[in-house]
Amino acid sequence: MDIRNLAALLLALASPALAATTTSVVDIPSRGGSQRILYVVPDAPRAFLVHVPGGDGVFGIQADGSMGTMTATCSPVNHQRQAFAAAGIGIAFVDAHSSGSVREYADILEVVRYVRARHDVPVWIIGGSASTAAVAFAAATLPESIPVGVVFYSTSQPFSSAFAQIRRPAFVVYHSGDSGQFGNQVYNALTAAPVRERLSLSGGTDAGCGFHLFNGQESAFSAAVVSFIDRHNAATAIAQPNYQGLWWRSPAGSESGWGVNITHQSDTLFATWFTYDTDGRGMWLVMSAGTRTAPGAYSGKLYRTTGPAFSATPFNPAQVGVTEVGTGSFTFTDTSNGTFAYTVNGISQSKPITRQVYASPVPECSTSTSAGATPNYQALWWASPSGAESGWGVNITHQGEILFATWFTYDTDGRGMWLVMSGGARTAPGTYSGELYRTTGPAFNTSPWMSSGVVATAVGTATFTFSGADNGTFTYTVGGVTQSKAITRQVYATPATVCR
């Protein structure tokens, strides 16, 4: 949309009533120092502005929250902070870093994370003039899992290629009397933005902070920004991160031999950790209800189970024993990287993790899509009908034409046992087959954990034949025992995740 004029928008925010706000000075750890912000939080915020200042980039935020620099005095966002608060929009004013540097991407990222960790609402990065390039780079570089939009005002020339890489709602506002702005050029450079709008204001006076910073038209400026956010705030929040898939130690391959399968439905993770006991035998632990404690953070109890042997007919779920052994937590920095921390039998450790990628394409998973004509089978599966044999299951990762299946079940002595089909090849539409392996390795708490200690032994074969997106048959031969079981996706929360 191309809006060239704003004849009557002043009525939108004319003389707003004072809104209840909480204002605090916060020093956020960043780059070995601290990034100071002035944090203005209205009651029940619905969005936040992260304001990256132009000028010299220094607000000069004091311990009492005062800001006395010319950059702060002329900021139209600062002028209108009460109007934004009245509209339910909070503001994080980004000052210089403790090192003295300004407008660094790493610091802006930490501010965005700080806001998102406390308020699960969209964030809009706003800036202009001397901060134009920094704002563009941040909007183009921030992880897609973080819902962010961008607002430019009184912009400098768009020399950077970052403008063409912005794939977020973008708004450009400027004053028609400002000879130093490049609003049209910036608008034209936003070629990848799903939504882009521009607006030219007029009126006010060129004295003091001048047309460049909307002197005398600050209320029209804030009304325009609020109006754009009103129309596109929900769209900014649509892309919620989803962590479903197979994860292992980061950097990739550094501890090959163990992993974590994560199923993500609604705000709950079901994580199955495939590792090794103190005697080297395979061991699996499960966090069946990892609850969301903050954006990108999930925690829950870890359990170990015993049960009937994989070959038991019938498999009686009443014979499955469950023992709580500790806790686990996942903290994700984006949809491909995070940290897995756990305490098991009094032993606490923490490891960086990343998605395991073994084929292309890697599916994208979300709760807002359907299976489509060619289903992807990446999910947690169990015996059909649902709950009939609760206590065992199969985690399937589906990349390209290859399934990576990890079967968590029980050995003949009742101890947990996991087998893996790491290269299940597609042999026909909806059919995948491969060898099954059993591994031994260093105990879960070994430090350093060495992949050279992992030994894999072929113990049989497995075949998955799917009759649809949500149902199939799991056939296997292990140790001379051949069986076949109907399986279905395990759904434990709504909405469930679909990968494509």
In DSSP notation, 143-193 reads: -TTS-EEEEEEEE----SGGGGG--S-EEEEEETT-TT--HHHHHHH-TT-
Cα angle: 100, vertex 102, 108; to 5 degrees: 125
Question: At residue 427, does pLDDT exceed 60?
Answer: yes
Nearest by Cα to 76 from 33, 30, 121, 126? 126
* End-to-end Cα, the chain, rounded Å: 31
196 and 170 Cβ atoms separated by less than 8 Å: yes
Per-residue tokens: 450: 């060495």
pLDDT in tens, 231-281: 998 877 645 689 999 999 999 999 999 999 999 998 899 999 999 999 999
Nearest by Cα to 41 from 68, 20, 18? 20
Task: Quote the pLDDT of residue 372.
Answer: 67
CA distances from 96 to 54, 59, 60, 78, 155 (A): 11, 7, 8, 16, 20
> CATH number of 9-236: 3.90.78.10, 2.60.40.10, 3.40.50.1820, 3.40.50.300?
3.40.50.1820
pLDDT in tens, 298-327: 999 999 999 999 999 999 999 999 999 999
Per-residue tokens: 350: 């923490």
Per-residue tokens: 261: 């399968």
pTM above 0.85, yes or no: no
Per-residue tokens: 15: 């003389």
Q: Rounded distance, CA 338 to CA 354, Å?
A: 6
Domain boundaries, the chain: 9-236, 245-492
Tell me if residue 474 falls in helix, strand or coil.
strand
Task: Quote the pLDDT of residue 17.
Answer: 44
Instruction: Tell which phi-psi region holds residue 350, choosing left (phi > 0), alpha (psi between -120 and 50) or beta.
Output: beta
Mean pLDDT, rounded, of the chain: 92
Q: Rounded distance, CA 286 to CA 305, Å?
A: 9
Better-predicted residue by pLDDT, 480 or 16 = 480
At residue 473, what are phi and psi to the nearest 5 degrees? -130, 135
Radius of gyration of the CA atoms of the chain, in A = 27
Q: Rounded distance, CA 395 to CA 271, Å?
A: 10
| pLDDT, average across residues 43-50 | 95
Question: At residue 8, does pLDDT exceed 50?
Answer: no
Please, which contacts does 251-257 make with residues 24 or more away whose CB atoms are closer than 8 Å? 251/354, 252/354, 252/356, 252/357, 253/451, 254/451, 255/351, 255/449, 255/451, 256/451, 256/454, 257/439, 257/441, 257/451, 257/453, 257/454
pLDDT in tens, 391-418: 999 999 999 999 999 999 999 999 999 9
Name the one residue in this structure whose structure tokens are 């009742």. 414
Question: At residue 67, does pLDDT exceed 60?
Answer: yes
Helix (H) or strand (E) holding 82: helix 81-86
CA distances from 429 to 291, 426, 433, 464, 487 (A): 36, 7, 12, 11, 17
How does strand 365-366 pair with strand 471-478?
unpaired
Q: Rounded distance, CA 85 to CA 191, Å?
A: 31
Per-residue tokens: 131: 């901060």
Per-residue tokens: 148: 């962010």
pLDDT in tens, 70-108: 999 999 999 999 999 999 999 999 999 999 999 999 999
Q: Which DSSP symbol is given to 155?
A: E
- What is the amino acid identity at position 185? Q
Tell me if residue 203 falls in helix, strand or coil.
coil
DSSP-assigned beta bridge partners for residue 118: none
Q: Rounded distance, CA 121 to CA 477, Å?
A: 50
- Strand positions, DSSP E, 194-239: 196-201
Task: Quote the pLDDT of residue 70.
Answer: 96
Name the one residue in this structure whose structure tokens are 């479903």. 244
pLDDT in tens, 112-140: 999 988 988 899 999 999 999 999 999 99
Q: Rounded distance, CA 154 to CA 448, Å?
A: 54
